[in-house]
A and B are shown apart, each in its own frame.
Chain A
Amino acid sequence: MLARILRRNPGGDPNASAVRKHRMRQKLSARIYNGLPWIRLLLFLIGYTWLLLLPSQYLGTAEWRVDENALQPGQTATQYNWAEVHAADRYLDRVEELYHRNASSSERADAIKFMFLEQGIPAATQSYTFTSGLRPSHGVNTYAVLSAPRSSGTEAMVIAASWESLNGSPNLRGISFILSLTGFVKKYSLWSKDVVFVISDGHMEGMQAWLGAYHGKFQSNVDYEPLNLRSGVIWTALAIDYPGHSFSHMGIFYEGLNGRLPNEDLLRSFNIISNHVAGAPVVVYDHLDEHIGSFIPSWIPDSIRNKPETRDYAIRARNILRHLKYQTLGRASGIHGLFHQFRIDSITIFAVPATGPHGFHSLGRIVESTMRTMNNLLERLHASFFFFIWKDPNNVLKIGEFLPSAVLVGVALMFGGLRLWVDAGWVEVADISSEKSNDSGSKSTSWKTRVRNVIPPLAIMVTTHVLGAVAFWLANSKWWIQLPTTATSYLPILPFSLITFGCLSALLAFDPLNRPKRNLQISPSPLYLLLKSFTLCLTSTVISVTSVLNFSLAAFIAVTLAIPLSIATPTKSLTFKMVKVMAYHIVLLPLWWILFFRPMSQSILEWQVLGVWYAPFMCIVYLPLVLQAMVVCMLDPEFVYA
């Protein structure tokens, strides 16, 4: 082989093209290297502009297609009629009576159980107690299992209503509607799955306890009664929320815990059914278009404000922002969100309170038709329609239309990190020793490699993450919870930064000048370069990985961290250092709290009761990243760990 190569390249001339090629490659990489800041800037710009364009009408397509053929939405003649409406009204009288005399949880549950039993449907109650440190809660759920005639009872669907509505008022009409539905459903033999009716106490806790008991999920801080009645595997669930007297629109809430979403087919089917079967228009959440005026900021001039394009943009932006908020916080937007953790596709349908024109009759027909659609399923909803953003009822963003925005920002961060890594490995030194001449003339400097000592920056990073874990442990502990609310709200930023700064000052107390230096010709790369490089690479990885699990969280990190981390640079002046660190402290750390007007205790409670990952993620991933940027600012530019 070698002989062949040598034979082929006997002298200077035949090499010329190869040399030229090599030179070109070198030039190209030099150009890319030199242009990297611009490329990064471009990626940032594209990424952020993309995020801003998400509500635009040009992104996403209006589609009424339902992928799963078995669903066949709206293809049935509905039978729910005025007799059932009358029954629902009678149940409403009884449920209202319970509410007005302030009946206790167990009284209510027993009364509702009796209303199921008198319709010939086996029913039972389940009491539960959450012993979480923040807010112990106790309640009693009622549930009834209608065994589908002729079926083996291995599959089931759930129709649920929580006692408390999404808007905080009692869900009296939702409950009375379900009671009227049971008697109605019992009249038909066409059900292929058992129908399980659940009236859960409280808002979220009751359903969490019921689902936990149904699936045998052990949770250390909850004490629940086992279920006496059971059915099979639950595939789909529908939560009904009807707090008002009548309704004008059907709202859909769909976000689950930790950013999980139900299958898009379920939303699409419901959209079709609601519009076609009862003529009740569907809205996202409880967002009515006529209220959009208050959403557009007042400083925008009227000429722009009143344009239909601006209005459309604002309508979609409002929906997307609310979705981003739910998903970032890992919050379920209703009791349906608790089902997703058990691979059950579910949504909450919310009867948007209004003076009319719809009531039990429309709701009955919509729910009946939706149940028939759910009943049609031969297998779980499975095609990969779990990644979407619902911009407006008829317009859905697919994964390819929103995912690149955050990922591009992540790519820009990765490029930044890699460039710093290269920078850390090379140093330009004055060229004295070699007097080599070449065709381009004499050179006064040349690039030399330098040692990249990776242990200290990694140690700093690990320390910050461990401190983050400690802060989370503190926030989660019992004694902290007993502190006054203002303190818990700001937790764990204060003690966290105190501890961290203690550690950092200890770190910086090691004066490198006092220690014996290794005799190196070229000093190793400065600490800040390596630390920043690693921080940027880690942030980029976190964004990319999170983007497919919880896009909103990834977008949130991309928006809040990408630029601040990229511009973190060390300074010599102590005043500047302090100003920078304070700026990070003030802007970034409480940002995630201020942004959503939520005290930390709420997130901790959700972690303890529902297992929402937001609080641990913020403490163990987000805060340490910010701290690493702060350490970069605190370091001396020439500080070197030799």
Chain B
Amino acid sequence: MIRGWIGTGLWLLCLSQLALGGETFDEQLRIRPLQDGRLYTHFTFKTLLENASPRLPNMINTEDEPQHYTLFPLALGQIIREYAVTELHLSLNAGKWNYGSWGYPDDPNVGTGAELWVWMGEGEEGSFDARWQGLRNALAGLFCASLGELDDRRTTTPTVAFQPDGDLPKGTPHRLIYAFHPSENVCTENLTPFIKLLPCKSRSGIASLLNPHRLFDADWHGLSVRVLWKADQGVEVTLGVQAVFDPMRLKGESKRDWSFSRIFEKTINNACPVARQSDIILDLPASENYSISHPTDLLEPSMVYDVNTIDKPLDLSLSFEENHFTYPDTPLSETPLAIMRSQAGTSQTKGHLHVAFTNSLEEPQRVAYLEMPPWIIKPYLHTLTITVNDDPARRNDLIEHLTYIPTKDERPTLFEPILILPPQSTVHLSFDFDKTFLRYTQHPPDAHRGWDIPPAVLIPLSSNTSTIPTLPRMYSNNILVDLPTPDFSMPYNVIIMTCTLLAMFFGNIFNLLTREVVAINIVGSDYQ
């Protein structure tokens, strides 16, 4: 009886929280067919803690005010309060985002690997670094990812890139800290804790489509967490899942028709009851004949479905009226800017890095380029060469500004020039680098495939003269660098070699030490 009363009481408490409107939860799924026959899906789960404000670092030693969450993810909220984080961006991605064929993603954080960037207030001396260390370890524990590896060897503070998306509290100086771990992959063990942060888990709403078997088979997939503070709204947590599926690979035929049950092997059976908004937005393919399972009266180019009201189970599908998909016969370039990074040279001691930026717009673009090579490669700034198109003339005048912090104490180098990309042209930037000769204990203990270099970032900057809005940032491909590596699989030979040398030296020295040296006078010797 008493338990019943308590249960009712708790329910009332929950309802009162909802009624107060302290927290809201919105979810959205955006689906977009891509030019090369693939399908882009983007899940966003947005929780807003209304009128909340981030904890200030100077209050870190005083006890925090109690936090009561109903929809807001508690585990994440505690971490953010504990380490006084104002803005946080975490993404875990697998695959190479193909800007040429897929265009810009809705969430620009698509670098291959684990990326974490945070804006935090400066506190007492040493507090910033301690909080950064605590934060990455806490996130590593929460998401089962090797984020603890994002130590000083992978951490930098860019000057132009990664400006805050939300607001920063006034009065407290804030600083950016950025880290990238290119060898980190994303898999089920990351998705499970991720789904746990959602109010409806994956039992209802659009999150019920998140089937790990399908999601992690997608050509490209990534998870992201974004925490922002908006001064007029509150603290907002956005959990995102992006994936690019290839319906033709899944079906094993040359038609790109898709449906929820085919792509995710799931359908939406219930709506998430606490979701204020639960929308599915379908961007319609342009100028093609197709049929949709759930046509609506809405105007093109997108259809919007409200999961809360639509008939369930929902198995949205789209089929094209074609016998087989015809691939475009020219390479696609869906983005006005393009970046291609490559390394040259096969020597194990030095190399050459080459980056090609293509601007296909009619006006010059002002961009920042962020390169953070880890300490194992040492770029030479004097070899920096910039040329345009096929003209061999050096065009170092295209650099408007250059931030360069050389590597020290195993910290990464920071190379962040601001470039002007002339219209309708390709700018080639290149420099030479040396590869470090590692001590044997510095080599990782596993199979030795080489060292991943994190992707470079291209950040288009706004300019007053430009007529187009500022473009999203782009990530280049990762690079694998071969360092001089001993053959670790040959300890047996090494032991034999060492023993032989030791025996030889020991034998000789022992012989010399114990031998009796005598002078003999030999009569009638041939040698005189």
**Nearest chain A residue, comparing its CB with the CB of B430:** A216
Indicate whether B112 reaches chain A with its CB closer than 8 angstroms: yes
* CB 8 Å contact bits of B503-528 with A (1 = contact, 0 = none): 00000000000001111111110100
**A117 and B518 in contact, given A151-B95, A379-B447 (Cβ under 8 angstroms):** no
**Nearest chain B residue, comparing its CB with the CB of A117:** B329
Complex contact A15–B450 (CB within 8 A): no
**Nearest chain A residue, comparing its CB with the CB of B217:** A189
**A149 and B246 in contact, given A154-B452, A379-B447 (Cβ under 8 angstroms):** yes
Indicate whether B266 reaches chain A with its CB closer than 8 angstroms: no
Complex contact B344–A147 (CB within 8 A): no
Contacting A at CB under 8 A, from B298-345, are 326-331, 340, 342-345
**Nearest chain B residue, comparing its CB with the CB of A216:** B344
Complex contact B249–A154 (CB within 8 A): no
Contacting B at CB under 8 A, from A434-490, are 436, 438-440, 446-447
Q: Report how far A117 CA is from B331 CA in the complex, Å.
A: 8
* CB 8 Å contact bits of B96-126 with A (1 = contact, 0 = none): 1010110000000000110000000000000
Q: Which of A119-127, A297-305, A328-336 contacts B (4 or more CB under 8 A)?
A: A119-127
Complex contact B331–A436 (CB within 8 A): no
**Nearest chain A residue, comparing its CB with the CB of B345:** A216
Indicate whether A307 reaches chain B with its CB closer than 8 angstroms: no
Q: Report how far A499 CA is from B346 CA in the complex, Å.
A: 41
Complex contact B249–A343 (CB within 8 A): no
Complex contact A384–B354 (CB within 8 A): no
Complex contact A155–B526 (CB within 8 A): no
The total of interchain contacts (Cβ-Cβ below 8 angstroms) comes to 138
Indicate whether B149 reaches chain A with its CB closer than 8 angstroms: no
Complex contact B522–A22 (CB within 8 A): yes
**A152 and B331 in contact, given A384-B490, A438-B524 (Cβ under 8 angstroms):** no
Complex contact B249–A152 (CB within 8 A): no
Complex contact A152–B219 (CB within 8 A): no
**Nearest chain A residue, comparing its CB with the CB of B340:** A230
**Nearest chain B residue, comparing its CB with the CB of A1:** B517
Q: Report how far A326 CA is from B484 CA in the complex, Å.
A: 30
Complex contact A154–B479 (CB within 8 A): yes
The interface residues of chain A lying within 8 Å CB-to-CB of B219 are 147, 149-150, 189
Could you say which of B96, B100, B340, B524 has the most chain A C-beta atoms within 10 Å of its C-beta? B96
Complex contact B520–A152 (CB within 8 A): no
Complex contact B329–A382 (CB within 8 A): no
Interface residues of A toward B: which range? 35 or more
Indicate whether A383 reaches chain B with its CB closer than 8 angstroms: yes
The interface residues of chain B lying within 8 Å CB-to-CB of A436 are 524
Indicate whether A311 reaches chain B with its CB closer than 8 angstroms: no
Indicate whether B182 reaches chain A with its CB closer than 8 angstroms: yes
**B521 contacts which of A15, A120, A343, A439 (Cβ < 8 Å)?**
A15
* CB 8 Å contact bits of B439-470 with A (1 = contact, 0 = none): 00000000111101000000000000000000
The interface residues of chain B lying within 8 Å CB-to-CB of A15 are 518, 520-521
Complex contact B327–A120 (CB within 8 A): yes
Complex contact B487–A382 (CB within 8 A): yes
The interface residues of chain A lying within 8 Å CB-to-CB of B480 are 154-155, 232-233
The interface residues of chain A lying within 8 Å CB-to-CB of B345 are 215-217
The interface residues of chain A lying within 8 Å CB-to-CB of B517 are 1, 5
Taking the nearest CB of chain A, how far is it from the CB of B211, in angstroms? Answer: 15
**A152 and B487 in contact, given A5-B518, A232-B479, A233-B482 (Cβ under 8 angstroms):** no
- Contacts A/B (CB < 8 Å), 20 sampled: A5-B519, A8-B516, A9-B519, A120-B37, A122-B100, A147-B96, A149-B95, A150-B217, A150-B221, A152-B477, A153-B112, A154-B480, A155-B449, A189-B217, A215-B344, A217-B344, A233-B450, A233-B480, A383-B489, A439-B524
Residues of A near any B CB (own CB < 8 A):
1, 5-6, 8-9, 15, 18-19, 22, 26, 70, 114, 117-120, 122, 124, 147, 149-155, 186-189, 215-217, 228, 230, 232-233, 341-343, 378-380, 382-384, 436, 438-440, 446-447
